[in-house]
Structure 1
Amino acid sequence: MPYITMFHCSLARIKRASFFVLLLASGAVQAAGAACPDHYLDGRPPEIRNPKLGAAARELCYSEFGVMHSGVTRTALWSAEHLAPDQLEAAQGLDRDNAFHPESRLPRGQRAELSDYARSGFDRGHLAPNGDMPDRRAQRESFSLANMVPQDRDHNRHIWAPIEGAVRKMAKKEGSLYVITGPAFLGSNLRKVGNVIVPSHLYKVVYSPRQKAAAAWFVENRADAPIQVIPVAELERIIGIELLPSLSRQQKERMLALPKIRQRKSRN
């Protein structure tokens, strides 16, 4: 059976803080290429640099996004999208159907179930957002639990929803964006809901082909957490995954100007 251990990593932009990044136990999956390359910049999926992060990982392809799922955390390690204005225009006309469901392509012992989230106090938080999905098929796919993480409810509504909205506006302006969204499992006191590990942080990477630049939002998974904007290269060091492998280090250090997020206050 796989097991979880921790290793130390540091985040320079957080003063005097140290974290322990989650390692997933022995064995590694490193795909030579994406099974669904259209969702990734230059057709290249993220590359897991720490082999232990690949334990019980498998790629899942959907019509509008691609996922690398971990059977250890029972969440995705990332979800990737290639956003275009016509896709988002189509998505605006669809009602949300909330058809949450376990992912039938995954073994029962490695996937999240609806019962894991029941009465947990956490939202089933989308990685690839339902609001990006242009048709009923894609909308239903986005409600797979393989595309979810346990997310603080206030965080989901008052921090993450505005970030998702900002990305959609940006995609319409830029004409095209590559977006990678995922969890980070940092700290020595990780929690579970049922059998699903709760991420300590969430991130969203945005790359603009027009500007040839990228940046990432990185936010702790709690209410009223401060929103950080960091270079992709720094985020890659934190999580142990090369998120945009077709870019040079210099390109990943160059900061794309992301929209400033006005955080709505949570209601207690």
Structure 2
Amino acid sequence: MLKTLVVALLFGFTPMAAHAAATACPEHFLDGEPPRLVNEKLAAKTRELCNRGFAELHSGITRTALWSAEHLTKERLEQQRGLERKNTFHADPRLPPDERAELADYIRSGYDRGHMAPSGDMPDAQSQDESFSLANMVPQNSNNNRNLWEGIESAVRDLTRKDGEVYVVTGPIFQGQNLQRIGGRVLVPTHLYKAIYDSKRRQAGAYLVTNAEGNEYQRVSIADLEEVAGIDPFPSLPRAVKSMAMDLPQPRPHGRSGGKKQTAEAEQPFQEKAVLEFLKKLLH
């Protein structure tokens, strides 16, 4: 049986019953239910932040979001067309100073300020500005952020335009005991995930990537993601839906990895039979 990811080592817990949470902004979640923390001790120093275009659960331990959730529709993305991007990066004033990331933490860190809920999903100026809060950021490898990850974000938007409506939950994963901090304060994730539920197809799945240079990614089921990340992004889904990985669209990275020739093999996800083996390797 797969172990819970080594966020357990970070937060010092053992697996427990799933933690159900109330929410002040149900409009962002499938069936109005926010992502559920599989272990209650993940909830230490967490705060729900409701925004116009997304919601997030912020951790005062990692000084990042544990998840950011969006309800994307074709109509919402039509509203986004023509909206000029304004990079209004800012510390979130709703958070205590000792729990939040500051702009100074990222200066000369070598990492991008990587969006969890992307600014390209936001339908208006207020939503876009809120997406530039550092509470919605993680320290992200710049090559990953600007190429593969941007390709994944674009693939999800294309899927939304095609099928009309999707729910998205995005977040970081922290694996291992020797985690890096930037500014001596903000934890650097080792992996990132983006979970999707397609309302038209009634199917779900997730992209899983390493926070590093390159274009390799995995497509996994929600059940497998839950075991690895310690978070259930869609608590209301039947177990049968969670156990079957949706055939998510292939992202098209916007650039090449470190100037090296990008191969077709590097763009392809692991096949279903290799998923559990991959997840096991994450734990060692």
| TM-score over 0.5 for the pair | yes
Corresponding pairs, count: 253
Rounded to whole Å, the distance in 1 between the matches of 2:164 and 2:3 is 35
Task: Provide the residue aligned with 1:266 in structure 2.
Answer: 257
Distance apart, 1:92 and its partner CA: 2.0
What pairs with 1:252-263 in structure 2 (closer than 5 Å)? 252-263=242-253
The aligned amino acid for 2:27 is: D
Q: Give 1:166's match in structure 2, choosing from 138, 155, 166.
A: 155
- Could you say which residue in structure 1 is the equivalent of 2:164? 175
SS at match of 2:6: strand
Paired residue type of 1:255: A
Q: Matches of 1:157 and 1:9 in 2, distance apart?
A: 32
Which residue does 2:240 correspond to in 1?
A: 250
2:205–2:247 Cα contact (<8 Å) kept: yes
Match of 1:118 among 107, 111, 115: 107
TM-score normalised by structure 2 residue count: 0.85
**Does structure 1 residue 214 correspond to structure 2 residue 207?**
no
Give the CA deviation at 1:146.
0.4
Match of 1:196 among 167, 180, 186: 186
1:225/1:190 Cα in 2 relative to 1: closer, same or farther (>3 Å)? farther
1:231 paired residue number: 221
- Superposed displacement of residue 52, structure 1: 1.7
Instruction: Give me the whole-angstrom Cα distance separating, in 1, the residues matched to 2:88 and 2:246.
Output: 35
Distance (Å, rounded) in 2 between the aligned partners of 1:61 and 1:227 = 30
Residue-by-residue CA offset, 1:22-57 (whole Å, 9 max, x unaligned): 44258x995542210010000000111212211100
* Separation of aligned partners in 2, 1:159 and 1:32: 32
- How far off is 1:9 after superposition? 5.7
By how many angstroms is 1:254 displaced?
2.0
The answer to whether the 8 A contact 2:21-2:36 is kept is no
Could you say which structure has the higher helix fraction? 2
CA RMSD of aligned residues (A): 2.0
SS in 2 for 1:134: coil
| Contact persistence 2:155–2:252 (CA under 8 A) | no
**SS at 1:223's partner residue?**
coil
| Residue 123 of structure 2 corresponds to residue 134 of structure 1 | yes
Higher strand share: 1
Q: Partner of 1:75 in structure 2?
A: 64
Q: CA deviation digits over 1:86-133, x for unaligned, max 9?
A: 111121211111000000000000000000001101000000000011
User: Does structure 1 residue 59 correspond to structure 2 residue 48?
Assistant: yes
**Matched residue of 1:58: which SS?**
strand
Q: CA deviation at 1:267?
A: 3.8
CA contact (8 A) 1:33 1:43 kept: no
Runs of 5+ consecutive residues of structure 1 not aligned to the other structure: 1-7, 12-18
Q: Which runs of 4+ in 1 moved over 4 A?
A: 8-11, 28-31
How many angstroms does 1:225 deviate by?
4.8
**Structure 2: runs of 5+ lacking an equivalent:** 260-284
1:112 match: secondary structure? coil
Q: Percent identity of the aligned residues? A: 50
